[in-house]
Amino acid sequence: SCKDYNFSPETVNDTAKETCLNWFFKIASIRELIPRFYVEAAILKCNKFLSKTGISECLPRLTSVIRGIGDPLVAVYARAYLCRVGMEVAPQLKESLNKNFFDFLLTFKQIHGDTVQNQLVVQCVEIPLYLTLYSPAIDWILQCIAYHAPEILLTETMERCKKLGNNALLLNSIMSAFRAEFIAARSMDFIGMIKECDESGFPKHLLFRSLGLNLALADPPENDHLQILNEAWKVITKLKNPQDYINCAEVWVEYTCRHFTKREVNTVLADVIKHMTPDRAFEDAYPQLQSIIQKVITYISDFSLLFSVEKFLPFLDMFQKESVRVEVCKCIMESFIKHQQESTKDPVILNALLHICKTMHDSVNALTLEDEKRLLAALINGFIKMVSFGRDFEQQLSFYVEARSMFCNLEPVLVQLIHSVNQLAMETRKVMRGNHSRKTAAFVRACVAFCFITIPSLSSIFTRLNLYLHSGQVALANQCLSQADAFFKAAVSLVPEVPKMISVDGKMRPSDAFLLEFLCNFFSTLLVVPDHPEQGVLFLVRGLLNVIQDYTWEDNSDDKIRIYTNVLHLLSAMTQETYIYHVDKVDSNDTLYGGDSKFLAEISKLCETVIAQILDHLKTLGKEETLKRQSQLALYFFNTILAHGDLRNNKLNQLSVNLWNLAQKHGFADTKTMVKTLEYIKRRSKQPDMSHFTDLALRLPLQSRT
């Protein structure tokens, strides 16, 4: 095996050495030069079995052997292979690598000799095409040489190249192989050599492209910046073939952006437009044009500066294939969201980005994937959130109205606009410290109206429900009571439309848990919503209860009763003399009714109705297969009465005892929870005016589970 195990020739036994030596003698007996060379090079590493210096002696010999190969193209690939093997088995022997390259340079003139030229005529191959066949081999040899090579080697290589009359093929490979820092430092030298090259074999624009690739990675001397650009662009701009032109221009745009101002960038973009517009040449160069845009926005991250580049938007107009155009727009928006640190109202930026966002939005159709829609919406939302007109709230609202008309097909954008307008209303309230003038009151009503007419256009029912609730809360906070009522009524009327199953992350899920969560939030808001003077007592609460009653719940679900239990929490809070929270400058029912006995009687009636519904449901759970649910629900209802009920009321006290017994009647009770509950009751009984809890504790037995 030739694997690089740690051994020396001294540790190899004589039989192995004899066998290995036999291999090399057999190879030496091969008459043909090329097969003999390649087979020996292939097993060069086996010399390690014979002597420590075997490889270092063979490499120079094989390098000299290649001189016997008459065809220069065959010879250069033999040298490339030997360099490859040499780098693998003895990377420290750099001299052999250099010798291969310099030997090749000495024989390079063979290409122009009669033998090769006659052969090309017979094979009908043009000299420029023939020369490109050398490039991979030369590139490989030079890469091996240039790997960790000192700068002095580049100088020596350049000198040898000059002696050959600055051969373009070699010059190109040199610029591709050596470190970019070395090339950039000698940029003017290379430009001088490029000028002197014979263009018939290898086009000069490819040499400028290779130089440009190096200058994109490393900076030339500062004093040479402008001269380098002028020399390169002088050649590039004269190119007639659009593909040749754009391949070079793409590289040199980065150099221009790195070292010059928007004036020079604008000049370069104008030149690209001039070359690529005739005969719609841009249609065959979209990848290069995209690369140019990417480079420009990478180096010019100040968007007010970017859009003041006169030719930037006309440059975008060349992207007439929709898919490419959208990709470019996405690229620009991603850069804006990444680099724009502060909000803006710059009209140049706004107009340009609105145009770009509109392009992205208008690409959406029935076949657009959901992931793509989400991405586009996120980019547009990122832009919307960065737009601020400061204290000019009316201008801000006008912008949101315009955005709504432009981006109506992307639901997440509409949702963002609703949130932004609600935030605008609350900002107005903050500025006025809650005391609206006639003008600001009209303005917040306009914000509320924006939300009210936008929400129905959304398809997701829970998005609509939550936005009705949120917008109603904002209206209430701004003392727009009739508008808040309208939002809450709309939410109530929408509840019956909630489907049994909804799509969550691409999977169908039961909607009950989401509806339960929404209704609990709704009840919390309804506590502070004052009754409408022209409607009955607790009009919204009654309306919501009717909707819950008529809603078709799942047969195996207790969500309806859990909702009714939460209604009891709400009704209990409504009986307090002063509610536990309020909306500033809005009188809730505690102030309107002042603890009026008729109002309390209405609440009491509602409580009785709700409790009757809960008890009816508990009775229906008396079947054997639902006894566990009955136990859990009874304990849940018991805890509600314990937390929110007045247990000095005999009827309520007896009901709680019955629920306690029902919870453990069939052996499904959660004993751990019941023990903790009983301990809580005993602790409460020791507090002042809580002696009735002592009696209650005595009436609540604990049954051991069998």
**pLDDT for residue 505 is more than 80:** no
Tokens of 635: 């304990």
Give the lowest-confidence range in 71-85, 509-523, 568-582, 677-691: 677-691
**pLDDT for residue 4 is more than 60:** no
Q: What is the pLDDT of residues 390-418, one digit of tens each?
A: 999 999 999 999 999 999 999 999 999 99
Percent of the chain with pLDDT over 70: 97
Cα 225 from Cα 223, distance rounded (Å): 6
Helix residue spans in 587-626 (DSSP H) = 589-593, 597-620
Give the chain's mean pLDDT.
89
- The predicted pLDDT at position 3 comes to 47
CB contact at 8 A, 394 and 544? no
- Where does 316-408 show beta strands of DSSP type E? none
Cα 51 from Cα 34, distance rounded (Å): 25
Confidence class of residue 429 from pLDDT cuts 50, 70 and 90?
very high
CB contact at 8 A, 295 and 331? no
Q: What is the pLDDT of residues 311-330, one digit of tens each?
A: 999 999 999 999 999 999 99
Q: What is the pLDDT of residues 179-188, one digit of tens each?
A: 889 899 999 9
CA dist 604 → 356, 357, 539, 601 (Å): 60, 56, 15, 5
H-helix or E-strand spanning residue 504: strand 501-504
- Residue 495: name the closest of 480, 517, 475 by CA: 517
Tokens of 357: 């966002």
Cα 131 from Cα 121, distance rounded (Å): 14
Numbers of helices and strands, H then E, in the chain? 36, 2
Tokens of 650: 């005999």
How many CA atoms within 13 Å lie on the side-chain side of 76? Answer: 24
- The predicted pLDDT at position 1 comes to 44
Select the highest-mean-pLDDT range: 146-155, 158-167, 480-489: 480-489
Indicate the DSSP class of residue 387: B
Scanning the structure block, which residue is given the tokens 């809450």? Answer: 488
How many CA atoms within 13 Å lie on the side-chain side of 18? Answer: 3
Concatenated DSSP letters for 462-500? HHHHHHHHHHHHHHHHTT-HHHHHHHHHHHHHHGGG--S
Concatenated DSSP letters for 59-96? HHHHHHHGGG---HHHHHHHHHHHHHHHHHH-TT-HHH
- The predicted pLDDT at position 166 comes to 57
Cα 169 from Cα 188, distance rounded (Å): 19
Cα 632 from Cα 660, distance rounded (Å): 10
Cα 604 from Cα 651, distance rounded (Å): 13
Q: Is 508 helix (H, G, I), strand (E, B) or coil?
A: strand
Confidence class of residue 704 from pLDDT cuts 50, 70 and 90?
low
- Residue 520: name the closest of 582, 563, 568 by CA: 563
Write down the pTM of the prediction. Answer: 0.79
Select the highest-mean-pLDDT range: 89-103, 469-483, 525-539, 578-592: 469-483
H-helix or E-strand spanning residue 510: strand 507-510
CB contact at 8 A, 236 and 205? yes
**pLDDT for residue 48 is more than 80:** no
Q: What is the pLDDT of residues 616-657, one digit of tens each?
A: 888 888 877 788 888 889 888 999 998 888 888 888 889 989
Tokens of 410: 């992307």
The pair phi, psi for residue 12, each rounded to 5°, is -85, 130
Tokens of 111: 């290409």
Scanning the structure block, which residue is given the tokens 């005969």? Answer: 279
The pair phi, psi for residue 478, each rounded to 5°, is -100, 20
Q: What is the pLDDT of residues 276-287, one digit of tens each?
A: 999 999 999 999
- The predicted pLDDT at position 199 comes to 62
Q: What is the mean pLDDT of residues 482-488?
A: 95
Confidence class of residue 343 from pLDDT cuts 50, 70 and 90?
very high
- The predicted pLDDT at position 392 comes to 94
- Residue 250: name the closest of 231, 226, 271, 224 by CA: 271
CA-based end-to-end distance of the chain: 75
Helix residue spans in 495-596 (DSSP H) = 512-526, 539-550, 559-574, 589-593
- The predicted pLDDT at position 245 comes to 94
Higher pLDDT, 328 or 142: 328
Cα 364 from Cα 343, distance rounded (Å): 27
- The predicted pLDDT at position 37 comes to 92
- The predicted pLDDT at position 474 comes to 97
- The predicted pLDDT at position 685 comes to 85
- The predicted pLDDT at position 706 comes to 43
Cα 127 from Cα 114, distance rounded (Å): 13
Q: What is the mean pLDDT of residues 124-148?
A: 85
Give the lowest-confidence range in 158-172, 566-580, 605-619: 158-172
Q: What is the pLDDT of residues 534-557, one digit of tens each?
A: 887 889 999 999 998 888 877 778
CB contact at 8 A, 211 and 194? yes
**pLDDT for residue 334 is more than 80:** yes
Give the lowest-confidence range in 10-24, 118-132, 449-463, 586-600: 10-24
- The predicted pLDDT at position 244 comes to 92
Q: What is the mean pLDDT of residues 492-514?
A: 87
- The predicted pLDDT at position 7 comes to 60
Q: Backbone dihedral region of 280: left (phi > 0), alpha (psi from -120 to 50 degrees) or beta?
A: left
Q: What is the pLDDT of residues 209-259, one digit of tens each?
A: 999 999 999 999 999 999 999 999 999 999 999 999 999 999 999 999 999
The pair phi, psi for residue 502, each rounded to 5°, is -130, 155
Give the lowest-confidence range in 51-60, 302-311, 369-378, 511-520: 51-60
Concatenated DSSP letters for 94-127? HHHHHHHHHHHHHHGGGGGSHHHHHHHHHHT--H
The pair phi, psi for residue 520, each rounded to 5°, is -60, -40
Cα 172 from Cα 206, distance rounded (Å): 8
Q: What is the mean pLDDT of residues 10-21?
A: 79
Q: Looking only at Cα atoms, what is the longest distance across the chain?
A: 122
Residue type, 186: R
Cα 260 from Cα 226, distance rounded (Å): 9
Give Cα 126 to chain centroid, integer Å: 49
Select the highest-mean-pLDDT range: 106-120, 144-158, 375-389, 679-693: 375-389
Q: In sequence order, what are the residues at sequence separation of 6 or more whose Cβ sits closer than 8 angstroms to the Cβ of residue 44?
A: 55, 58, 59, 62, 85, 86, 89
Cα 218 from Cα 289, distance rounded (Å): 23
Confidence class of residue 6 from pLDDT cuts 50, 70 and 90?
low
